[in-house]
Amino acid sequence: MFSETIKPIFVEMTGIQLFFSERFNNYYKMIDKNELQVIENWEQQQGERVFLRDCLALSIAMSFNFTTNNTDRKYTVIGLLEHNAKNNNDMEAVDALAQHSSKTIKELPFYKDADYICAVPPRPGKNFDLPSQVTEKVAQTLNKKNITNHFNYGKEKESIKSSKVEDKWLYLEKSKLNFDGLDLNGKNIILIDDKYQSGTTIQFVGMKLQKAGAKNVYGLSFVKTMRDTDNQ
């Protein structure tokens, strides 16, 4: 799991090479005091970022949505921004999320050098779509081409919010989502979504980008929910 989530970014940012142990099926390195300081600084720099394991090349959420999973839970800073932006159409929160997203992309290897940026495409006719709003602002800030409008739905996309996790992929397939009009061969794409819970939607869209020729898809979600499953 470490090699599929944190390791590429850790090695690139710290310059510390790790070795694989077949005995323990994990990575290790004997470090000195200077390297320990480098590692501690790197950990502090990551802040509340959540490194996720899925089928994308890399996948990160900027924070959890809540501080705990208890009944008295409180929103994190990013969690409150996501809530206000999505539920209240708060444009100040949208701007703040765009700033946090841009900062994250500029700080992270692989992400900062990506060719294009894309939002998980909204269903047609949706009045307000948070990932699209933020992605357009981030694209302008970082001078990266926003390719979201190259997606189209062959059939009307149903809302899958209330669907069980095991049914979501089937509903997404029924929408006939397609990407066309742009050659992605060998390109690296940042794919943005608002909330990562089961991860089904962002991985489905990532698969479509890969089928269109994308070399790597790097997921960036605003928040990760405190649990991995939903609607059980």
> Who wins on pLDDT, 205 or 73?
205
Q: What are the beta bridge partners of residue 58?
A: 218
pLDDT tens digits along 85-112: 999 999 999 999 999 999 999 999 999 9
pLDDT tens digits along 125-177: 788 999 999 999 999 999 999 999 999 987 665 555 556 666 777 778 888 89
CB atoms within 10 A of CB 89: 13
What is d(CA 85, CA 130) in angstroms, rounded to the nearest whole number? 7
Least confident of 2-6, 34-38, 117-121: 2-6
SS (H, E, C) 35-64: HHHHHHHHHHHHCCCEECCCCCCEEEEEEE
pLDDT tens digits along 177-192: 999 999 999 999 999 9
Q: Residue 229 has what pLDDT?
A: 61
Q: Are 220 and 194 in contact (CB under 8 A)?
A: no
The pair phi, psi for residue 38, each rounded to 5°, is: -60, -45
Its pTM surpasses 0.85: yes
CATH number of 48-224: 3.40.50.2020
Give start-end residues of each CATH 3.40.50.2020 domain in the chain. Answer: 48-224
Tokens, residue 212: 């269109």
Tell me the angle at which helices 77-88 and 91-107 cross, rounded to the nearest 10 degrees: 130
4 burial type by CB count under 10 A (0-12 exposed, 13-18 middle, 19+ buried): middle
Q: What are the beta bridge partners of residue 64?
A: 224
Q: Residue 181 has what pLDDT?
A: 92
What is d(CA 23, CA 46) in angstroms, rounded to the nearest whole number? 29
